[in-house]
Amino acid sequence: MGAAGQMNGRDGDIVIRARGIVNGFGDRIIHDRIDLDVKRGEVMGLVGGSGTGKSVLLRTIIGLNKQKEGSIKVFGNEVGDADSASMRALQMRWGVLFQEGALFSSQTVAENIQVPLREYTKMSQTLMNEIASMKLSMVGLPEDTAKKYPSELSGGMKKRAGLARALALDPELLFLDEPTAGLDPISAANFDVLVRDLQKSLGLTVLMVTHDIDTLRATTDRIAVLVNKKIKIGTIAELRKDPDPWIKEYFSGVRGRAALDS
């Protein structure tokens, strides 16, 4: 069974299952018993106003932030309780693109991509170079980027290089934190197409935090909206009918309408 086969054939397969997540800083609660399911092969967008804890939720799911209550299962394994061995097994199966790319600044782009390969596999340097160059071409970066240092790259190139590193181990699940923030509209649109293409050809499951309504329209299957410490999940069409004032404003405000009705 192939990647696409997995996508269609096992639609009910839940990759991320979060139940009753509570997060907060001090006395301030930002997530009040949130449930979230992400199905295999789907692209889910995570949106919400500033300070609603989108990134916190993402960080909780990938185990960088411990939730106060609730359980998160990724590929059926509890993230919070995972011991280091099973956490490593999980980490091999997902890739994360941080907001600014989070490339290791002391290493070239090629070396950055090879970090996970070196950590988890024993392959020859030649093969690693080949794979790094292949990943770069997959994310649409020119060949000479391999030898450059992150400080020599533009914002958009850093994100692409970060994506190449996230894809290094051929993960099944990809987390993207604001992949198009800070990009010009053309680069952002290209990035959307890139994510969608990669998702299709690699059969990825994607969870992305974004503000960009164009990105949501172009790439996501379903959207999770964080409002009032709770979460609402649906397709764009479903969410546009939602009575919540923030969601209404988000999808039906000037920018939302311009993006969705075009």
User: Is residue 83 close enough to count as binding another protein by CB under 8 A?
Assistant: no
Whose Cβ is closer to another protein: residue 37's or residue 100's? 100
Q: How many CB atoms lie within 10 A of CB 34?
A: 22
> Which residue, 40 or 54, has its beta carbon nearer to another protein?
40
Q: Which of 11, 69, 130, 184 binds another protein (CB under 8 A)?
A: 130
Piece of 3-11, 51-59, 69-77, 183-191 that binds another protein (CB under 8 A): 3-11
The 10 Å Cβ neighbour count of residue 117 is 18
Helix segments in the chain, DSSP class H: 3-9, 54-61, 84-93, 109-120, 125-138, 155-166, 185-202, 213-219, 236-240, 245-252, 254-261
Q: Is 93 in the site for another protein (CB under 8 A)?
A: no
Applying CB under 8 A, the site for another protein has a residue count of 41
What does the alpha-carbon distance between residue 231 and residue 38 come to, in Å, rounded to a whole number? 13
Residue 159 sits in the site that holds another protein (CB under 8 A): no
146: contact with another protein by CB under 8 A: yes
With binding defined as CB under 8 A, does residue 1 bind another protein? yes
CA distance 84 to 89: 9
Buried-state track 101-114, b at ≥16 Cβ within 10 A, e below 16: bbbeeeebbbbbbb
How far apart are CB 59 and another protein at their closest, in Å? 21
Site for another protein, rule CB under 8 A: 1-5, 105-106, 110, 117, 121-127, 129-131, 133-135, 137-138, 140, 143-144, 146-147, 149-151, 167, 169-170, 197-198, 200-203
